[in-house]
């Protein structure tokens, strides 16, 4: 039975929810672990957990994987090796507000690339939804004090984050064009394994010149979360979502990320909630509905 689009949307929503916790943890580890080392620990954990289950399937489908090795290599480099490392690097050199604002470019990239490579139409309602969602995110991350935008200073980290947003859009397009003959677990296991190898090499070099870190219980727990939850579980959910609803619709659901972050900050970090949180939430959800609901986008897949 073909999975419903509602199930695909739920997968994208759950993946985004888990990733929101990753952003909070990543900020906390930013001063403890250098970026390549953090990325290597994250993806080594995910690979170690996944491979015992995926390895037999990978071996069985080795001829199919070899046939599509170019796709697998590019997917691993963009989605595993480089994307997350750029985010961690960006966090060292720019403010969290800048990261949140620049992250909103990802669905824009997805819409444009989907039009070029997948032939998806950019409908009037999809464009309106994009603008409304971005407005909601701006209100949310600035807490309604839009004069903050005038005081933003830009750093090299902003370029890293912009590059990360573009790479995630490319990765989402690659998932849509994933060879259907390859089992999803074989696909994830192969891309994880390929992607983590250069990260391990880079981490060894980084640790030879960077200050050594202490393997505390907080670090271990955080790495387990981003390695199993934000990598293995979320990537599996996102892969499933993209295969059902496509990269464009999934990317709009990704706009709920700052909403989840705000809620978690309220309950976990005791940060106060303001009218801007409510207004931002309503605008983001309204934009997502307008951009993704079939009633308004009958021309798209």
SS3 43: helix
pLDDT band at 292 (very low <50, low <70, confident <90, very high): low
Q: Which residue has the tokens 């701006």?
A: 138
Tens-place pLDDT, residues 117-139: 888 777 788 788 878 878 877 77
Residue of 52 and 212 predicted with greater confidence: 52
Dihedral sign of CA atoms 196, 198, 201, 203 in order: negative
Q: What pTM was estimated for this model as a whole?
A: 0.78
pLDDT for 273: 66
Tens-place pLDDT, residues 128-170: 887 887 887 777 667 677 676 666 666 677 778 788 888 988 9
pLDDT band at 106 (very low <50, low <70, confident <90, very high): confident
Distance, CA of 184 to CA of 269 (rounded, Å): 36
Residue (of 103, 102, 89) closest to 39 by Cα position: 89
DSSP sequence for 223-271: HHIIIIIIIIIHHHHHHHHHHHHHHHHHHHHGGGHHHHHHHHHHHHS-P
For the residues 64-72, what does the mean pLDDT come to?
A: 95
Residue of 290 and 55 predicted with greater confidence: 55
pLDDT for 296: 64
Distance, CA of 269 to CA of 4 (rounded, Å): 36
**59 φ/ψ angles, rounded to the nearest 5 degrees:** -65, -40
Tens-place pLDDT, residues 20-48: 887 677 666 767 788 899 899 999 999 99
pLDDT for 56: 96
Average pLDDT of the chain to the nearest whole number: 82
- Whether 296 and 122 have beta carbons less than 8 Å apart is answered as no
- Tokens representing 262 are 């705000």
pLDDT band at 98 (very low <50, low <70, confident <90, very high): low
- How does DSSP classify residue 116? I
């Amino acid at each position: 039975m073909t999975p419903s689009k509602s199930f695909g949307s739920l997968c994208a929503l759950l993946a985004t929810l888990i990733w929101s916790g990753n952003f909070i943890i990543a900020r906390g580890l930013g001063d403890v672990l250098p970026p390549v080392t953090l990325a290597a620990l994250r993806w080594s954990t995910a690979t170690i957990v996944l491979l015992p289950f995926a390895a037999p399937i990978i071996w069985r489908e080795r001829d199919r994987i070899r046939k599509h090795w170019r796709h697998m290599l590019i997917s691993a480099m963009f989605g595993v090796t480089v994307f997350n490392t750029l985010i961690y690097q960006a966090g060292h050199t720019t403010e969290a507000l800048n990261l949140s604002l620049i992250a909103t470019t990802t669905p824009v990239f997805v819409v444009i690339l989907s039009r070029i490579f997948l032939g998806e139409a950019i409908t009037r309602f999809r464009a309106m939804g994009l603008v409304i969602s971005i407005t909601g995110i701006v209100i949310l991350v600035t807490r309604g004090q839009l004069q903050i935008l005038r005081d933003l200073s830009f750093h090299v980290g902003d370029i890293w984050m912009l590059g990360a947003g573009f790479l995630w859009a490319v990765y989402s397009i690659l998932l849509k064009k994933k060879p259907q003959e390859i089992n999803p677990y074989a696909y994830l296991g192969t891309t994880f394994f390929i992607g983590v190898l250069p990260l391990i090499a880079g981490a060894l070099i980084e640790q030879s010149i960077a200050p050594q870190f202490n393997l505390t219980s907080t670090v271990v727990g955080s790495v387990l979360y981003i390695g199993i939850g934000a990598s293995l579980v979320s990537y599996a959910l996102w892969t499933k979502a993209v295969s059902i609803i496509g990269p464009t619709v999934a990317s709009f659901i990704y706009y709920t990320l700052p909403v989840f972050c705000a809620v978690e900050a309220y309950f976990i970090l005791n940060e106060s909630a303001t009218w801007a949180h409510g207004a931002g939430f309503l605008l983001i959800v309204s934009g997502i509905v307008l951009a993704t609901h079939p009633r308004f986008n009958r021309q798209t897949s």
